[in-house]
Amino acid sequence: MAVKLSKSDKQMLGCQQGKATRTAIRILMRMAEVTGATEMMDVSQGHIDGCGLLSDAGLEFAETLAANGGKVSIPTTLNMGPLDLQNWKQFGVGEEFAAKAIRQAKAYVDMGCIPTWTCAPYQGYLTPRFGQQIAWGESNAICYANSVLGARTNRYGDYIDICAAITGRVPKCGLHLKQNRKGQILLRLLDIAPSVMRDNAFYAILGHLIGSLARGKIPVIEGLPPDPTSDQLKALCAAAASSGSVALFHAIGVTPEANTLEEAFHGEDPEQVIGIRLPDLLKSMSDLSTAGEGVALDLVILGCPHFSFDEFRQLTVLIRAETEQGKSLHPDVKFVVTSSQTSYALLQRSDFLDVLTDFGVEITLDTCVFHTPMVSPETKVIMTNSGKCAYYAPGELGAAVAFGNMADCVRSAVEGYVCRKEMFWKES
Amino acid sequence: MPKGDVLERILTGRPVVPGSAKGIALVSKEPISFWGGISPRTGEIIDRRHELSGAIVTGRVFVFPHGKGSSTASAVLLESVKAGVAPAAIINLKVDPILALGSIVSDELYHQSVPIVVLEEKFFFSINDGDFLTIEPDGTVRIHTKPSTK
């Protein structure tokens, strides 16, 4: 092997630390060869995505590692799993699926992972710090950790994530190294009205566009307002990581490695400069929808990535505005919000929860509609405020999708059909 | 090589996950996300925005520039091997570590991998949909084109 091994790497390969550790380091070594890394390095935190998808092979992999004595050696959080562990029966999930999902959850928790079960780990527990070397899975979380927090991770796919957490080692390459975090293409926001940039949907739409423009390069955005919220950046990351492979972007004056253009590009010139104007955003917005205005709506999905407490607050305000006018959820529409136990614990301490549940909002925790079989096959039209959900719903859920902002989602759920009144951005 | 085919070209590539395979090329110029893009149960391309939507990757040499999107792609590839619907091999334009991972884990768990070769641009774009390809562990790709029926 061309990869230089440390003393501890050799011990792990030699089976002195158990069979699971040996499997884990073997996979990491082979991946080092794939990526051309010549040595390994330490990481100090992990986030596991491999616990999310329930498949027989994934379950077998996790149970094999756990049975062979696998234990994580660094603090490691878990992405959402395939099941709402407490309330799965309410969502019509079958017993056989649930039994396997519970086995998979147990395998990862037995290996010492923290049962956070969320795809927005950066809004909950153990948020990584600037410059921290970490091994994270889940595309939106990878993008957020690198771009917004300035922590350093490559895109760790399912299974290498737990290998890194067990060994605390990864191939030394890619975004772990400062020289590879240099911005490559400059995306200039031109003549976009502040009112457009205040709309939360702007961030998902921009993310979707950036993903399609990046083509494997590290994009640098110029012209974002200086104070986007964590939820707005979450939406941007999720959409950009879905439509492209964006694992890192910089935004001048917003993200920590891009205080100036010079810093973002490490003093060099951009390889390419692309202007983004309102018509580009409008095109990106229409690209996110496969269902048009006025189509009968079956399901609203919010919380992709997982809803934060603040998003629950915004939703409550919007729903109150409807119920105060005597409006209610249309009987043919299901309204689902996916979130984490962490956000839900805060929600229970507020007076929002009653407003939401009285309206008919169903809150599911620990999982999402893509990973647990809770969306019935009769569901034909879905509406969401998430660029990621809009991107994947047609393929994964076999339904048409309408993208709109949160206010439009609520209004449409009341009316029973897709109506986007709020999000009509005018060219000014 | 199927009878009557003519050996046309030999391409030298980098064996990202070394192995032997043969099959008919399924070619796309677009990147694809395996999760949400390919069903690990049927091998069908289910990304309805993708140019190959509806095609089946099973047993084909799947030729596309690179993966994109979800880091769950490795799981989809592993599961498709277990379900017997995986492509025979993958040819990319650039190394996709997440796909390589799926193939390597499959090798560690089931002693069965999906060979992955990366070709430089001029070779990559010389492969046509429907070409019969053989892949060797050193990264050599042989293209056999069906004789013209004209």
Q: Where do the structural domains in chain A lie, given as residue ranges?
A: 7-179, 182-287, 299-427
The answer to the question of residue B1 being in a domain is: no
- Within an 8 Å CB–CB cutoff, is residue B104 touching chain A? yes
Q: CB distance A61–B78 less than 8 Å?
A: yes
Give A311's pLDDT tier (boundaries 50, 70, 90): very high
Nearest to B79 among A58, A137, A142 (CB): A58
Burial track A229-246 (b if 16+ CB lie within 10 A, e otherwise): eebbbbbbbbbbbbbbbb
Q: How far apart are CA A92 and CA A334, in angstroms?
A: 14
Nearest CA distance, B109 vs chain A (angstrom): 7
What Rg do the C-alpha atoms of chain A give, in angstroms? 22
- When CB atoms are compared, the residue of B47, B101, B105 closest to A395 is B47
Cβ pair A55:B37 closer than 8 A: no
Does residue B2 form part of some domain? Answer: no
Which helix (H) or strand (E) is A237 found in, with range? helix A230-243
Q: Is the pLDDT of residue A169 over 50?
A: yes
Could you say which of A27, A55, A392 has the minimum Cβ distance to residue B105?
A27
- CB A296, CB A416: distance < 8 Å: yes
Share of chain A above pLDDT 90, in %: 87
Q: What distance in Å separates the CA atoms of residue B142 and residue A50, rounded to the nearest whole number?
A: 36
Tell me phi and psi for residue A77, to 5 degrees: -95, 165
Query: pLDDT by residue (tens digit) across B80-106?
Result: 999 999 999 999 999 988 899 999 999
Q: Which residues of B touch A392 (CB under 8 A)?
A: 35-36, 70
Please compute the mean of the pLDDT values over residues A143-172 and round it to a whole number: 96
Phi, psi (degrees; rounded to nearest 5) at A274: -125, 130
What residues are paired with A187 via a beta bridge? A221, A274
* Residue B108 forms contact with A (CB below 8 Å): yes
In the block, residue with structure tokens 């780990």:
A121
Nearest CA in chain B to A62: B109
pLDDT (mean) for A182-209:
95
Q: Do A242 and B70 touch (CB under 8 A)?
A: yes
Is it the case that residue A8 has pLDDT exceeding 70? yes
pLDDT bracket for residue A92 (50, 70, 90):
confident
Name the percent of chain A in helix, strand, coil, to the closest 5.
Answer: 45, 15, 40
CATH of domain A7-179: 3.30.499
Give the pLDDT of residue B50. 92
Which residue type, as a one-letter code, is found at position A384? T
Domain A299-427 in CATH 1.20.1560.10: no
Alpha-carbon gap, residue A291 to A410, rounded angstroms: 17
Q: Which residue of A has its CA nearest to B14?
A: A34
- Greater confidence, A208 or A426? A208
Which residues 111-150 of B are in CB contact (within 8 Å) with A? none
Distance from CA of B72 to the nearest CA of A (A): 5
Report the pLDDT averaged over residues A146-159: 94
What is the Cα–Cα distance from A107 to A66, expressed in whole angstroms?
6
- ipTM, 2 decimals? 0.86
**Whether the domain at A7-179 and the domain at A299-427 fall into the same CATH topology:** yes
**Which B residues, 2 through 31, put their C-beta within 8 Å of a C-beta on chain A?**
16-17, 31
Question: Does the distance separating the beta carbons of B97 and A55 come in below 8 Å?
Answer: no
CB atoms within 10 A of CB B99: 25
Chain segment A93-107, per-residue pLDDT in tens: 999 999 999 999 999
Residues 4-43 of A with CB under 8 A from B: 23, 26-27, 30-31, 34-35
User: What distances in angstroms separate CA A368 from CA A89, A278, A340, A365, B62, one per listed residue?
Assistant: 15, 32, 10, 8, 30
Asked if A393 contacts A399 with a C-beta cutoff of 8 angstroms, the reply is: yes
CA–CA gap between residue A324 and residue A327 (Å, rounded)? 7
Q: A27–B71: do the CB atoms touch at under 8 Å?
A: no
Number of domains in chain B: 1
E-assigned strand segments in B13-118 = 14-17, 21-27, 61-63, 89-92, 116-118
Q: Which of A139, A391, A394 sits opposite B71 (nearest CB)?
A: A139
Does B55 contact A at CB distance below 8 Å?
no
Name the residue among B68, B75, B105 with its Cβ closest to that of A53: B75
Over residues A306-327, mean pLDDT: 97
What pLDDT was estimated at residue B5? 56
Residue A206 pLDDT > 50: yes
Question: What is the reported pLDDT for B86?
Answer: 97
Q: For the residues A150-166, what does the mean pLDDT come to?
A: 94
Q: How far is residue A65's CA from residue A74's CA, in Å, rounded to a whole number?
A: 16
- Residue A41 is encoded by which pair of tokens? 């390095």
Residue A334 neighbours by CB under 8 Å, 6+ apart: A298, A299, A300, A362, A379
Q: Which residue of B has its CA nearest to A160?
A: B101
The answer to whether the beta carbons of residues A184 and A218 sit under 8 Å apart is yes
Q: What residue of B is the nearest CA neighbor of A22?
A: B108
- To the query of whether residue B70 is one of the catalytic residues in this protein, the response is yes
Indicate yes or no: CB of A49 within 8 angstroms of CB of B81: no
Give A243's contacts in chain B (Cβ within 8 Å).
68-69
How close does chain A come to B12, measured CA to CA in Å? 17
Handedness of CA A25, A29, A35, A36 (dihedral sign): positive
Whether A137 contacts chain B with CB within 8 A: yes
Q: Domain holding B55: CATH number? A: 3.50.30.10
Nearest chain A Cα distance for residue B129, angstroms = 23
Q: What is the pLDDT of residue A410?
A: 98
Give the count of Cβ contacts less than 8 A between chain A and B.
121
Q: If we measure between CA atoms, which residue out of A259, A247, A169 comes closest to residue A222?
A: A259
Average pLDDT score over chain A: 94
Report residues of chain B scoring pLDDT below 70.
Answer: 1-7, 69-71, 146-150
Tens-digit pLDDT profile for residues A333-361: 999 999 999 999 999 999 999 999 999 99
pTM: 0.90
Residue numbers in A near B65 (CB within 8 A): none
A36 to each of A174, A224, B16, B91, how far by Cα in Å? 10, 36, 10, 18
B81 and A57 within 8 Å at the Cβ level: the answer is: yes
DSSP secondary structure, A285-306, as one string: HHHT-SS-TTPBP-EEEEEEEE
Out of B20, B70, B103, B106, pick the active-site residue: B70
Q: Using alpha carbons only, give the angle B47, B53, B58 rounded to the nearest 5 degrees.
A: 100
Residue B72 contacts A, CB cutoff 8 Å: yes
Q: What is the pLDDT of residue B149?
A: 46
pLDDT at position A50: 86
Is A61 in contact with B105 (Cβ distance < 8 A)? yes
Residue A164 CB partners (closer than 8 Å, separation 6+): A24, A28, A43, A46, A135, A156, A170
Q: In whole angstroms, what is the distance from residue A300 CA to residue A388 CA? A: 14
pLDDT at A314 over 50: yes
* Interface contact flag, A30 B79, Cβ < 8 Å: no
- Tokens 């393929």 sit on residue: A395
Which residues from B are below 8 Å from A13, CB to CB? none
Instruction: State the DSSP H helix or E strand holding residue A75, giving kind and residue range, or none if neither.
Output: none
Between CA A72 and CA A109 the distance in angstroms is 10
Domain limits at B120?
7-145
Residues A294-302 have a mean pLDDT of: 97
Cα–Cα dist A408/A44, whole Å: 42
Sheet holding A76-78, edge to edge: A76-78, A46-48, A135-136
Chain B nearest-CA residue for A398: B46
Which pLDDT does position A121 carry in this prediction? 97
Enter the DSSP assignment of A89.
Answer: G
Alpha-carbon gap, residue A421 to B39, rounded angstroms: 36
Put simply, whether B41 touches A (Cβ < 8 Å) is no
